[in-house]
Amino acid sequence: MLKAENLISKQRYYIIVGVVIFLMLILLSRFFYLQIVRYEKYKHKAEINRIRAVTVNAPRGLILDRNGNILVDNYPTYILTAIPGEMEQKEKIFNSISQYTGIDSSIIAENFKKYYRAKFVPTRLMKDLTFHQISILEENILDLPGVNYKQFPERYYPSKINGSQLLGYLREVNKPVQEKLGNPNVYELGDLIGWSGLEKFYESQLKGTRGVKYLEVDALGREMEEVKGYNNRRSEPGADIKLMIDADLQLLMEEKMKDYRGIAVLSNPKTGEILAYVSKPDYPPNIFTGKMLKDDWNEVRNDPHRPLMDRVITGLYPPGSTFKIITALALLEETLLDPSKEVECNGSYQFGDRTFHCWNETGHGSVNLQAGITQSCNIYFYQMVQKLSLSQWVDNCFDFGFGQKTGIDLPYEKMGLIPTEKYMNRKYGKWGWSRGNLLNLALGQGDILVTPIQMVQFINQIATHGNAGRLHFVKEDNEEKGIRPQYSDNTWNKIEKYLLSTVSDNQGTGRSADPKIKGLIIGGKTGTAENPHGDPHAWFIGFGKKDNQILTTVILVENGGHGGEIAAPIARSAYSRYFLPIKQSQIVLKTP
Amino acid sequence: MIFSVSGNHFSKSPFTIIIASMVLTSIGLISLLSISVHQSSDILRSSFFKQLVFLGPSLIGLLIMIFIPKYLIHKYIFTIYFIVLGVLFLPYFGRTIAGTYRWIDLGPVGFQPSEFAKLIIVFSLAKYLSDHNLEMKNFSSFFFPIIMVIIPAVIILKQPDLGTALVLLTPLLPMLYWAGARSYHIFLSLAPLLSVLTAFHALSFSIWGVLMIVIIFLERPKLIFGLVIYFSNLFLGLLAPALWNSLKDYQQNRILALINPELDPLGAAYQIIQSQTAIGSGGAFGKGWGAGTQTHLKFLPVQESDFILSVIGEELGFVFILVIILIFTWMILKMVKLGYSSKDRFSGLVLIGIASLFMAHVFVNIAMTVGMIPVKGLPLPFISSGGSFLMSCFMMVGIVMNVGVDSTE
């Protein structure tokens, strides 16, 4: 029972007392170390700890047309984020969010995986939530520990125009993109970045500066108050950019081109302002914003006609008969021909062992230079170009900027191809090519590829006698002059005369380009470019002059057949709208 | 007089222990109030209020333990032991709370039987060691006491509650030592543990290996025994990695985080780093009651229970920590002293057992709060919130009052 004696020795008692005191001293010394010795360090650490830098997204700058119509705008959406370390039961929370918003919880889980970075870094769950969805979530936020939301401005396109490839699209910064950009501080995951078109080219202006708010936050992610004395920085909206585009003309061109593949560009050659810029097929720009459906996107991306491609600056085409102008200019300037000298066209031409054909199989009869251009007679140019060497011809192409970028304010512009002797030697071997190739080149066929924007620059120089302004959408302060092809006034005047007669002459190939407006003169050249992809591409490049105003047009319809039949009428509608302006703007804003 | 009716030496009971425990409880309540006022909209559902409510049953438990006749405990403790063993299995049939089985669902309040297992173990060991006129010089006398402790410890470990399971083991060696076990045998009991712990560090393991040789050599056992002891320990140490793999992920993480807290500041070591930051930033006098930024921005997890001392360290500073540690030290030493001066062996063993339980809780909790040992999920006596635990602490105080006779008064 309880009779056993307590037999503890004094020595053992003291050992136990010693152990207790020893252990307690260890604990006490640890507190002394943390609270007294290392006080400053931990004090500082605690300061940082309670503060979270919260980024405030800056709305991007707007994009306006020349009359101030808004082409690209922002509207506020909400994104939902969660701090992974604070969500105790992820699945349950995802299900509740799904219940409140009607969004499939598997999508939420997928996003969570995609955006996850670290346990205590806010991770995006959903974007493009409506105000209504957010208010339901807000009411139930206590059931959703770790879940938070913030405003996020998205693009939307209030005007009726598409301008898809021109305006470009944004994409989300994901991990590979962020790595490519180098500096991870500028773009956060999930930020939007201009990825094509003007959005990309003017990214630095449009982007704006993200703000930073230093907030006291608790571990539930609840943001308390802003911390004073810290470097809170407001977000600075991006700068608006004003385009020289005329939305009215743009819309007209989009409508005229809607059934075709091809391009239409209108510009003011004196200033270099681009007034309309259409590449078809295109896509409704809204598919890239929040409301974009995956199916829409895939449809656009997998479309064999490549609507994402900007044909104006990246499309490479043979220029066809429009290049007879270059050949003529070169011959005139070198005074290698007598413009009045006639050549007999009977529909074909024998050169060495090859037979070259005119497009007019029955032949044009007697043709001088003017008729050769007006009626676009091939035989005339086959014969005349033989007076030129390849390098002479190539130099003239370079004078007009072919084979080089025009430097227009868009990314990814291509250079095209002008076959120099060096190029021909490399491709065919020194003896593998002959002047027969030049015969083709004189007609804009063979080893030559141009971008439509180069053609715009070309016709602008013709229309201004070599004084065209550098092509641009956004006016810059230090307007640098573009290239300056040097030809004598005589040469410029003659070419202009021939181009005018191409439209005004009864037999001119470009006659359907004339809207017949009093005081308006139209000049231009058609082209029917043979190509391996089917029917020839239809070109029309031209200008209209009235009083002091000039408008140039470059129209290309892929596989459209004859330039005079299909491209020229489209140019006509542009002239008539530009020189007979309608008082009221045609732009009707869409409801957002 | 009620005191004489109970047959206790109540007038000679160490009242100072009650006063000390009430002081500690008050400090705990002050901190819980700070947390509750600043973080909870509903004071009635706050941890402060719950703790206050639980103080009632706790004091009842205290009184029961003071007045329950010692001989009754002594007489029926083995019966109670087996009942409690059964009760420990009960939570497996209940629903899980926070992924564990350690609660019995009693309507609005959960109840943790493992808390009371600690008391039962101490009583049972005390009875066994005092009743059997054991020849403590023999290592074989360790056998039943170890079995007695291991069974409930394993059940609780399976719940899983590693912290409580370890605490359950702590009275064993001090009580054996108290009962006269040889230091060498205590060493042999501890050796496997040390072998396992040092196995993860090559240098420590080598030092431990040499140390074992020295100690075994000094004892001069039969050569064969010495070799068996030595090599089985080495073998166990080498086996440790396999044992390590059988631990749950979160337990592994907690141990790993201890080794290098900076490794993963957002993962396992998050609690430790936050706790250290809170404590360190408190300085000598603290940031003031209710002004702890780490506390109130909830960077500190489980701050009401396991990490309550971080809150105190941050808001009230080193001065209060010093006071708390001094009170605990005084309480524990007082119990040891009462044990030393008690007349019968049973009382002495009970007192040393309870002192070791308190010591285990205090040391493990504080050491984990300051990042010295892995997070065990162990609360701090009297101060941490938690109904069952507060009650069992006061019951232990009641037992100290019951069996302890303050010879100085």
Burial category of B335 from C-beta neighbours within 10 Å (exposed 0-12, middle 13-18, buried 19 and up): buried
Using CB atoms, which residue from B284, B328, B362 is nearest to A36?
A: B284
Using CB atoms, which residue from A2, A3, A219 is nearest to B298?
A: A219
Using CB atoms, which residue from B276, B299, B343 is nearest to A34?
A: B276
- Domain contains A544: no
**Which chain A residues touch B329 with a CB distance below 8 Å?**
20-21, 24
- Domain contains A131: yes
Distance (Å) from the C-alpha of residue A111 to the closest C-alpha of chain B?
21
Using CB atoms, which residue from B179, B267, B370 is nearest to A31?
A: B370
- pLDDT of amino acid B11: 62
CB contact under 8 A, B282 and A35: yes
Highest mean pLDDT among A54-58, A355-359, A398-402, B129-133: A398-402
**Which chain B residues touch A14 with a CB distance below 8 Å?**
none
- Domain contains A100: yes
- Domain contains A92: yes
A297 at interface of B, judged by CB pairs closer than 8 A: no
Looking at the DSSP assignment, which residues form a beta bridge with residue A262?
Answer: A280, A557
Instruction: Enter the ipTM.
Output: 0.85
- pLDDT of amino acid B89: 73
Distance (Å) from the C-alpha of residue B224 to the closest C-alpha of chain A?
30
Average pLDDT over residues A502-512: 89
Cα separation, B9 vs B399, in Å, equals: 13
| φ, ψ at A425 (rounded to 5°) | -65, -40
Using CB atoms, which residue from B284, B336, B370 is nearest to A20?
A: B336
Residue A89 has pLDDT above 70, yes or no: yes
Tally of structural domains, chain A:
1
Using CB atoms, which residue from B313, B336, B344 is nearest to A4?
A: B344
Structure tokens, A464: 């201004």
Please list the helix, strand and coil fractions of chain A in percent, rounded to the nearest 5, in that order: 40, 20, 40
* pLDDT (tens digit per residue) in B336-363: 999 988 888 888 899 999 999 999 999 9
- pLDDT of amino acid B117: 84
Distance (Å) from the C-alpha of residue A90 to the closest C-alpha of chain B?
15
A218 at interface of B, judged by CB pairs closer than 8 A: yes
CB contact under 8 A, A119 and B352: no
Distance (Å) from the C-alpha of residue B337 to the closest C-alpha of chain A?
8
Q: Cβ(A169)–Cβ(A285) under 8 Å?
A: yes
- Domain contains A125: yes
Cα separation, A348 vs B334, in Å, equals: 124
Domain ranges of chain B: 2-403
- pLDDT of amino acid A592: 40
CB contact under 8 A, B344 and A6: yes
Task: Tell me how far the alpha carbon of residue A105 is from its chain's centroid.
Answer: 35
**Which chain A residues touch B283 with a CB distance below 8 Å?**
35-36, 39, 43
Buried b (16+ CB within 10 A) or exposed e, A179-205: eeeeeeeebebbbbbbbbbbbbbbbeb
- As averages over each run of 10 residues, the pLDDT of chain B (409 residues) reads 44 82 92 75 73 90 88 84 79 55 48 77 89 69 85 76 78 87 80 77 81 81 80 81 72 60 46 79 82 62 75 89 94 92 87 94 87 73 88 92 71
CB contact under 8 A, A16 and B317: no
For residues A418 and A120, the model is more confident at: A418
CB contact under 8 A, A46 and B313: no
A49 at interface of B, judged by CB pairs closer than 8 A: yes
For residues A251 and A115, the model is more confident at: A251
Which residue type does B273 have?
I
Q: Specify the pTM.
A: 0.57
- pLDDT of amino acid B304: 74
Using CB atoms, which residue from B283, B299, B363 is nearest to A23?
A: B363
Structure tokens, A401: 């900027």
**Which chain A residues touch B187 with a CB distance below 8 Å?**
none
Compute how many other C-beta atoms are within 10 angstroms of the C-beta atom of residue B380: 26
- Domain contains A144: yes
**Which chain A residues touch B282 with a CB distance below 8 Å?**
35
Task: Tell me how far the alpha carbon of residue B157 is from its chain's centroid.
Answer: 14
- pLDDT of amino acid B264: 44
Using CB atoms, which residue from A4, A43, A120 is nearest to B345?
A: A4
How many CB contacts within 8 angstroms connect chain A with chain B?
Answer: 155
Distance (Å) from the C-alpha of residue A232 to the closest C-alpha of chain B?
20
Distance (Å) from the C-alpha of residue A214 to the closest C-alpha of chain B?
14
CB contact under 8 A, B372 and A30: yes
Residue A366 has pLDDT above 50, yes or no: yes
**Which chain A residues touch B298 with a CB distance below 8 Å?**
218-220
The CATH number of the domain holding residue A142 is 3.30.70.2110
- Domain contains A475: no
Using CB atoms, which residue from B274, B325, B336 is nearest to A28?
A: B325
Best mutation target among B340, B352, B364 (most A Cβ atoms within 10 Å) is B340
Binned at pLDDT 50, 70 and 90, residue A63 comes out as very high
* pLDDT (tens digit per residue) in A236-286: 888 999 999 999 999 999 999 999 999 999 999 999 999 999 999 998 887
- pLDDT of amino acid B395: 92
For B176, the closest chain A residue by CA position comes to A8
**Which chain A residues touch B340 with a CB distance below 8 Å?**
6, 8, 13
- Domain contains A528: no
- pLDDT of amino acid B161: 66
CB contact under 8 A, A220 and B131: no
**Segment 160-189 of chain A within 8 Å of chain B by CB:** none
Residue A115 has pLDDT above 60, yes or no: yes
CB contact under 8 A, B367 and A27: yes
- pLDDT of amino acid A479: 62
Cα separation, A392 vs A152, in Å, equals: 58
Using CB atoms, which residue from A13, A35, A220 is nearest to B298?
A: A220
Report in angstroms the alpha-carbon separations of A319 from A404, A459, A557, B96, B182: 15, 12, 12, 78, 106
CB contact under 8 A, B325 and A31: yes
Q: Which residue has the tokens 């029961």?
A: B64
- Structural domain boundaries enclosing A133: 70-153
Highest mean pLDDT among A2-16, A114-128, A343-357, B30-44: A343-357
**Which chain A residues touch B333 with a CB distance below 8 Å?**
17, 20-21
CB contact under 8 A, A20 and B346: no
Average pLDDT over residues A146-168: 86
* pLDDT (tens digit per residue) in A387-415: 888 989 999 999 999 999 998 999 999 99
**Which chain A residues touch B346 with a CB distance below 8 Å?**
2, 4
- pLDDT of amino acid B267: 45
Average pLDDT over residues A4-29: 87
Helix/strand/coil for B118: helix
A8 at interface of B, judged by CB pairs closer than 8 A: yes
* pLDDT (tens digit per residue) in A306-334: 888 999 999 999 999 999 999 999 999 88
For A3, the closest chain B residue by CA position comes to B344
Report in angstroms the alpha-carbon separations of B367 from A437, A472, B348, B376: 90, 71, 28, 10
**Which chain A residues touch B317 with a CB distance below 8 Å?**
35
For A25, the closest chain B residue by CA position comes to B325
Structure tokens, A174: 């994901």
For B332, the closest chain A residue by CA position comes to A20
* pLDDT (tens digit per residue) in A260-271: 999 999 999 999
